[in-house]
Amino acid sequence: MMLKLNNISIKLGDFQLKNIDLELERGDYYVLLGKSGVGKTVLLEIIAGLIKLDSGKIILNNIDITHEKIQKRKVGIVFQDYSVFPHLSVKQNIAYPLKGKKLTHQQIESLIHEYAELTNITHLLNRGTQKLSGGELQRVALARMLVTKPECLLLDEPLASLDVQLKGDLRNLLRKINQKGTTILHVTHDYEEAIALSNKVAVMHDGEIIQKGFTKEVFQKPANEFVANFTGIKNFFFAEFSPINIARINGKIEIHVSNHDQIKNGKIIIRGEEIIISENHIDSSATNNFKGKIIQIIPYFSNFELIVDIGIEISVVISEDSLFKFKFKENSEAWVSFKSSAIKIIP
């Protein structure tokens, strides 16, 4: 185990973190997912030693670093506001952690260039930091941290204030950094980042971790309603099951389900990726077929979300290719179909 958080608790005014347990293996890309204000940043700052915890232990490579000095922890934090030193140039910022490390001038220069190249900021090295964009500052902060070769990299909402294009670029960079062997703990409120980057994810709510595990498992088998809602599953409805294999939603629409637990009331979720949309009715094994109207088309990074009104609003995810092939447009009619086995029932 590389980084182990053992029963961490802290009370800060009205806010508290309760019994946080988390384990990161070497090479993990672990995403801590939660709304703002749930304590994600506080947890990162506790690991980095910037905030003193009330109880619990932090173990890094089998060494207890709970009370270790900030500068000796070997965990590097990149803040959401980047915290690039405004009075130093880009190069001086990256060189900052290298000074006083008994390195020769040449070694320092070569390290600066290595990490400037990795983060694609070589052209900015001699610039001041005052006029850099958010994306550039983020890269400077990353290069400055990576040059220290931290055992574990802590990222606080690294993509939050970037535009779509930069987000994509930076995601690739973070993937590259992780693939090079850096263990990453990344805090975000955006489930797409978790899906895009992580191999493991922990969902935080109200100062507690309410579910953690491999990303796929957490997203496909949310432990409760909150996780299901939060992890971005849009098709989440209250349903009455009557007869038992029919889910009645808002008294309007009936969906065939496989209600093995024979429950009478509950929630159902349908993953947008598992819904088929077509221009005309198609005969298939899908037991649920509805005619509806496309009311909105929302572009995402690699695919599109179509909101279709079938009596209830349902979210369908399709690829860019499909969108252009079938020429789906807003306000046009379409058929949606999905199998009853694609529906998850949460009591």
**Contacting positions for another protein (CB under 8 A):** 48-50, 70-73, 75-77, 79, 81, 83, 85-87, 96-97, 100-101, 130, 144-145, 148
**CB 53 to another protein: min, Å:** 16
Spell out a b/e string for 26-60, using b for 16 or more CB atoms within 10 Å of the CB, else e: eebbbbbbbeeebbbbbbbbbbbbeeebeebebbb
**CB 100 to another protein: min, Å:** 7
Cβ proximity to another protein: between 47 and 316 the closer is 47
**CB 113 to another protein: min, Å:** 18
The CA distance from 196 to 198, in Å, is: 6
List, in sequence order, every beta strand (DSSP E) within 234-280: 235-241, 246-249, 253-256, 265-270, 276-278
Among residues 10, 17, 21, 18, the alpha carbon closest in space to that of 53 is found at 10
Cβ proximity to another protein: between 70 and 282 the closer is 70
Cis status, amide bond into 347, omega within 30 of 0: no
**CB 80 to another protein: min, Å:** 10
Cβ proximity to another protein: between 88 and 210 the closer is 88
Cβ proximity to another protein: between 92 and 122 the closer is 92
The CA distance from 209 to 230, in Å, is: 13
In the three-class reduction of DSSP (H, G, I as helix; E, B as strand; rest coil), residue 323 is classed as helix
**CB 99 to another protein: min, Å:** 8
Residue 89 corresponds to which tokens in the numbers above? 């140039």
| Contact criterion met (CB below 8 Å) for 273 and 342 | no
**CB 231 to another protein: min, Å:** 30
Cβ proximity to another protein: between 86 and 251 the closer is 86
Cβ proximity to another protein: between 146 and 306 the closer is 146
